[in-house]
Structure 1
Amino acid sequence: MADNKGESLKEGRVARRQRRNREALIRAASDVMSEKGIDAATMLEIADRADVGAGTVYNYFRSKDDLAVAVLEEIMQDLSLRVETATGDFADPAHVYAVALLTVLETATTDDRWRQLLGRSGIVADVMFRRIGPFAIDLLKQGAHSGRLSPGDAAMTWRLTTHAIVGAGLSVSHGDLPATEMPDAAVRLLCMAGLSAGVAQELTARPRPTLPPEEGLGSMAAQGH
């Protein structure tokens, strides 16, 4: 019995060490990729910054691209939590959804860690669907219940929205669309959720709440207005 208990404790320590290493690598990758870009960042430099062995990184991530996607997942998860916190006292789910859309669109066009991965549109849209989706889909359902929104299938609406956001980000990155058009893009996406253009324009024109600081992944994520 004692042997089993000791084995359980050992497994717990291993799991904790693995979690710490993974988190350290994601933080280090976020910092290095923010400073130098994904292409210029090296796995060795990221491992050094995380204070782990050079070969250790490959125990957690098969490639630098996999690590970059993990960084993006954490950024998106953190962003949805920050929007949720900043809008916690808002009574109107349509208003919260408008804030979320504007914030995500802004981040997709200003945060270098997003912009460098936008070319992999399917991957970015999928990460956005999974990481921001629980918050966004819940807002769409709340809006439908209150009569403020009529998104139909909320999950489908959010999935289509993620691809539209990636497309808008790519258009800005390629110089085909000015970043100043993002509020209009948000209006169109709000219309997809069932709002009239006039109501959508009124919501996007409202001052946005200040988001709390990004947690643990560097300083380059959008902070809202």
Structure 2
Amino acid sequence: MAEAGIQGEGRVARRQRRNRAALIKAAREIMTEKGTEAATMLEIAERADVGAGTIYNYFRSKDELAIAVLEGLMHDLGVSIQAVTDRFEDPAQVYAFGIRTVLDAATGDPRWRQMLRRSEVIADALFRMMGPFAIRDLRQASAAGRFRAEDAELTWRLTCHALIGASLAITEGQLSPAESERIVARLLCMAGLDLASATELAGRPRPPLPGR
């Protein structure tokens, strides 16, 4: 259906779609090179080969563009997590690996860190972009008897807000990065595990992501 819609779109719609994708790609490159704060809308527009004023037809502010970049990063992270966890035999470990990896990204990647104060917006983006992966993992672990998440969607939504809140606390020095494993264990308890089982699961060795 989506492909049919793209094939049937008009010339203006195709140009708009290409311009938006080019702006997000350029912003991702520049924000990776020099950080979100140092990036400017002008240089992003120039790299994307889009008029300096035209960029505001797609994004009202650099903050809004940075969120679009972060949404792409979230989706890519979900794909990378799946590439690793497809080898796991324990479905609960799949979910645990995912939330620990998100916590590490949110506290370690400057493109995430600089957006954490927009916690409500970022938590919603996390829910939407990584939800298809996480909700599936929650349901599979529950079906296997490892979790007791009766409402996987609600569990993931609550986990997103807790993850972003904990990440912000770590980046602002209110929590130590050494607390990450305990944070993950508590988040696993939200899926219906007892604390001892959650602690064991959170402490399992984690293989690296592809390309890391």
Give your verdict on TM over 0.5: yes
Structure 1 position 210, deviation (Å)? 2.3
Aligned to 2:23: 25
Aligned to 2:191: 193
**Unaligned residue ranges in structure 1 (runs of 5+):** 1-7, 214-222
* Highest RCO, 1 vs 2 (Cα 8 Å, sep ≥ 6): 1
Residues 63-102 of structure 1: pairs in structure 2 closer than 5 A: 63-102=61-100
Shift in CA distance, 10/95, structure 1 to aligned 2, threshold 3 Å: closer
Separation of aligned partners in 1, 2:167 and 2:35: 17
The residue type equivalent to 1:182 in the other structure is S
Aligned to 1:183: 181
Separation of aligned partners in 2, 1:99 and 1:134: 15
* Among 120, 128, 131, the residue aligned to 2:129: 131
The residue type equivalent to 1:164 in the other structure is A
The residue type equivalent to 1:124 in the other structure is I
Shift in CA distance, 91/47, structure 1 to aligned 2, threshold 3 Å: same
**Aligned pairs, number:** 207
CA RMSD of aligned residues (A): 1.9
CA contact (8 A) 1:87 1:209 kept: no
For residue 175 of structure 2, give the secondary structure of its aligned residue in structure 1: coil
User: More deviation in 70-79 or 55-64?
Assistant: 55-64
Separation of aligned partners in 2, 1:149 and 1:161: 14
Q: Does 1:36 align with 2:34?
A: yes
CA deviation map 1:122-160 (0-9, x unaligned): 100000000111111111111111110012211111111
- TM-score normalised per structure 1: 0.85
**Percent identity between the aligned chains?**
58
Structure 1 position 203, deviation (Å)? 1.9
- TM-score normalised per structure 2: 0.90
User: More deviation in 17-26 or 40-49?
Assistant: 17-26
Aligned to 1:216: none
Separation of aligned partners in 1, 2:96 and 2:56: 40
* Among 135, 141, 144, the residue aligned to 1:143: 141
User: More deviation in 190-199 or 74-83?
Assistant: 190-199
User: More deviation in 76-85 or 58-67?
Assistant: 58-67
Structure 1 position 113, deviation (Å)? 0.8
Structure 1 position 65, deviation (Å)? 1.3
For residue 136 of structure 2, give the secondary structure of its aligned residue in structure 1: helix
CA deviation map 1:6-52 (0-9, x unaligned): xx989555444333322221121122223333333211011112222
**Unaligned residue ranges in structure 2 (runs of 5+):** 1-5
Residues 51-66 of structure 1: pairs in structure 2 closer than 5 A: 51-66=49-64
